Amino acid sequence: MLSDDEIKHIEKLARIRLDNDAREKFKGQLSDIIEFVRTLQKVDTTGFESEARKRSFKPFLREGRAGGELERDKVLEQAPDTKNGFFKVPPVIDKD
Partner 1 sequence: MELNNKSISELKKLYGQNSVKPSEVVQSCLDAISNKDNEIGAFLEVMPEDALRRARELEKESSEERALFGIPIAVKDNICTIDRHTTCASKILKGYKPPYNATVVERLLDAGAIIIGKTNMDEFAMGSSTENSAYQITRNPWNMEFAPGGSSGGSAAAVAAYMVPVALGSDTGGSIRQPASLCGVVGLKGTYGRVSRYGLVAFASSLDQIGPITRTVEDSAIVMNVISGRDTFDATTIPDKPGDLTVGLGRGVERLKIAVPGDLERWDIDEELKGILKDTVAKLKEAGANIEPVKFPDMEASIACYYVIANAEASSNLARYDGVKYAFRAEAESIGEMYERTRGEGFGDEVKRRILLGTYVLSAGYYDAYYNKAQQVRAMICSEFETIFSTYDLVMLPTVPGPSFRLGERIDNPIEMYLSDIFTTSANIAGIPALSVPAGFTRKGLPLGIQLMAGYTQEAKLLQGAEMLEKIYNFNKG
Partner 2 sequence: MNNSSYETVIGLEVHAQLLTETKIFCSCKPEYGADPNTRICPVCMGLPGALPVLNRESVTMAIMMGLALRCDIAAVSEFSRKNYFYPDCPKNYQISMYDKPLCKNGFVEIETDNGPRNIRIERIHLEDDAGKMSHETGKDSLVDFNRCGVPLIEIVSRPDIRTGLEAVKYLVRVQQILRYLGICDGNLEEGSMRCDVNISLRPAGSTELGTKTEIKNLNSFKAIEKGVEFEVERQRRVLEEGGSIEQVTNLWDADSGRLVMMRSKEEANDYRYFPEPDLLPLEVDGEWIDGVRDMIPELPLEKERRFREEYMLSNYDSGVLCAEKGIADYFEIVAESTGLAKKSANWVMREIMRALKNLGCAIETFPVEPEKLAGLIALVEDGIISGSAGQDVFAEMIKSGADPKEVVKKLGLEQISDSSELENMVDSIIAAHPEEGERYREGKKKLLGFFVGQVMRESRGKANPELARNILIKKLGS
Q: Tell the smallest beta-carbon distance from residue 81 to partner 1 (Å).
A: 7
Q: What is the spatial distance between Cα 1 and Cα 32, in angstroms, rounded to a whole number?
A: 8
CA distance 24 to 29: 9
Residue 85 interacting partner from partner 2, partner 1, none (CB closer than 5 to 8 Å by kind): partner 2
How many degrees, rounded to 5, is the angle at CA 77 between CA 72 and CA 83?
75
Contact partner, 72, from partner 2, partner 1, none, Cβ < 5-8 Å per class: partner 2
Q: How far apart are CA 2 and CA 27, in angstroms?
A: 6
* Residue numbers at the binding site for partner 1 (CB under 8 A): 7, 9-11, 13-18, 22, 26, 29-30, 32-34, 36-41, 43, 45, 47-49, 51, 53-54, 56-60, 62, 70, 74-75, 78-81, 87, 89-93, 95-96
